[in-house]
Each structure stands twice: as structure tokens, then as C-alpha cells.
Amino acid sequence: MSRKIAFITGATSGFGRATARRFAQAGWALVLTGRRVDRLDSLQAELSSLTSVYTAALDVRDAAAVQKVVDELPEAFKAVQCLVNNAGLALAPQAAQKVDLQDWHTMIDTNITGLVNVTHKLLPTLIQTGAGASIINLGSIAGQWPYPGSHVYGASKAFVQQFSLNLRCDLLGTGVRVTDIAPGMAETEFTLVRTKGDQAASDALYRGTTPLSAEDIAEQIFYIATLPDHININRLEVMPTRQAWSAFAVDRDK
């Protein structure tokens, strides 16, 4: 297969699904992973008329499962040129002192351990691909800008930022590019997952403004992956025009 191949984690919703569609439109072959098999099947059926698609059910937190999926890729899908580390989530938007410890562990295991598992396994392939290969990690403005209720989520995305920058140092001379893309407010299933299905909370967050869409971020990911080989965007922070920063919070005497 002469066409380029993208490996996308968390492809069953949000940024991952939109990114799969964007790359398929450009004729890239796709390796799509996620935990929801029915959604993977649906996406494969949708995109197979545009390109070659291989899907694999995968929980990125499971290092052995990651190894198995990559090792068992059909020959036509092995030469991955772009890894999109999209799988991740936020939970428990309450104050840290009110959060269940398991929610913290789930975010750490998915946003950090999962990303590390997939990256480590695919690094030899990407290095072999060389010039033009890309690792695109989904960070967040939460990794740079703290806010109440972000606690471990923000910390996990700060890890994504620093891990991406450090990978750049180690991969110097290989031709492999690394980018931390950090979206701001975007209307996807993100808030529904974070609030454990609270549709009213999700609706309230986006009401009366114009957030980013999954397609907006997918377009940026595709742009990064298709830049000339000699260009690397280290970090790309993308916010809606109608979102900005606020003043410091101050605790005052009543």
C-alpha cells in the first residue's frame, strides 16, 4: 500500500472520529482503535468507501493489549506515518476534596499511561518511517491554564505537553515530528463523560456561545500531519474566539 497510514486512538467519538473522517477524505489509510466495537464497526462501514480502514477494539490503559494490536496489524497497515494519541477523558469537575479517588486513577491511567503505552509501542515504526512521520498528542488548555475542578485532568494534560516537548528532544535527527495540540472549549461528548451523563450540565456549558467543534480540531490535526517534512509545530493552542482568560480568584473576608 503506497498511501499514508494514520493510527488514531479513541476514534469512536469526538476529536478522534472527526479526525478519522478528515484523513479518510484525503485518502489516508486508517487504523482506528477504541473501546466501543459497535461504533468502530459503524465508522469502518462509513469510511471504507473512501479508503482502507482497519479497526481494533482497544483499551489503551492495557499495555499488553496495545502490544497485541500493533503486532497483529495486517502488513498493509504496519507502516504508520501519523500517530494521533486522542484517547483520553476528564472526570469529576468538582473540587479536588470532593472527588472519588478512582476518578483520579482513571484519568491518570487513560490520559497518561495509555498515551505512553501507544507511543512507546509505535516509536520504532515511526522512526523507521522517518521524515514526515508525526506524533500528534491531544492535550488541552487545561495543561497550561489552571481552573477550579481541573485537578488531575489539568495535571494529566500538563504531562502531555511536557512529554511531547521531551520526545522532540529525543527524536531529533530521526525526522519524526511531535506536536501537543491543546484545544479550548469544544462541544463534543467530553462534558457528558465528565459529568457522567448530565445532559443539562453539558447544555449549560455551551449555551449562548460558539465553542469549537470536533471538526475544527480535526482540521488542525490534519494540517499538522501534512506540513512539509521540515516543519514541526511544537504546541498548538486553539480556543474559540469567544473564550479567553479571566482574572485571578481572590478569597476575601466576608
Picking from 216, 104, 215, 123, the residue whose alpha carbon sits closest to that of residue 163 is 123
How many CB atoms are located within 10 Å of the residue 114 CB?
24
**Catalytic residue from among 54, 147, 153, 223:** 153
Interatomic CA distance for residues 113 and 119, integer angstroms: 10
Residue 147 appears among annotated catalytic residues:
no
Residue 6 contacts residue 84 (beta carbons within 8 Å): yes
Q: Which residues are part of the catalytic machinery?
A: 153
